[in-house]
């Protein structure tokens, strides 16, 4: 039985971007994470030890945003996905969306973002 944990709009400050002013100070990012895994054991036992702790997944994602720095959102999103897979052995697939909440563009947009999907490698 496959299921997933869905984390939406995790807000984290980070230093990411290509432009010089983006590299000078932290800016807000919004992150979504879908962590897929076999939920059969958790559904049967109703025990935290048999599932993936969504708080720990959120902390993994937040740590990448706040403690590392990337020029491109694609690289940031891929690093979050890989971190989730590396730190949470039950997770078989991680889909990550990263959005700049205040992007440096000349038009009125709510956010800009990228989506990446990574899967556990054998």
Domain containing 36 equals 2-119
107 to 8, 74, 104, 112, 115: CA distances (angstroms): 25, 21, 9, 11, 21
Q: What's the mean pLDDT in 17-31?
A: 93
Work out how many domains the chain is built from and give that number: 1
Which pLDDT does position 121 carry in this prediction?
84
pLDDT at residue 1 above 90? Answer: yes
Q: pTM to 2 decimals?
A: 0.94
Strand spans (E) along the chain: 2-14, 27-38, 93-100, 112-119
Which pLDDT does position 81 carry in this prediction?
98
pLDDT at residue 13 above 90? Answer: yes
Active-site residue numbers? Answer: 100
Q: What is the pLDDT of residues 40-59, one digit of tens each?
A: 999 999 999 999 999 999 99
Q: Residue 94: give its domain's CATH number.
A: 3.30.1130.10
């Amino acid at each position: 039985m496959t299921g997933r944990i869905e984390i939406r709009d995790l807000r984290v400050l980070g230093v990411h971007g290509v432009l010089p002013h983006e590299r000078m100070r932290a800016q807000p990012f919004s992150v979504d994470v879908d962590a897929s895994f076999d939920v059969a054991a958790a559904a049967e036992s109703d025990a935290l030890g048999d599932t993936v702790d969504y708080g720990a997944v959120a902390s993994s994602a937040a740590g990448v945003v706040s403690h590392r720095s990337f020029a491109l959102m694609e690289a940031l999103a891929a690093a979050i996905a890989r971190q989730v897979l590396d730190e949470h052995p039950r997770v078989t697939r991680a889909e990550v969306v990263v959005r700049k909440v205040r992007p440096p563009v000349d038009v009125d947009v709510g956010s800009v973002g990228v989506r990446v999907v990574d899967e556990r490698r054998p």
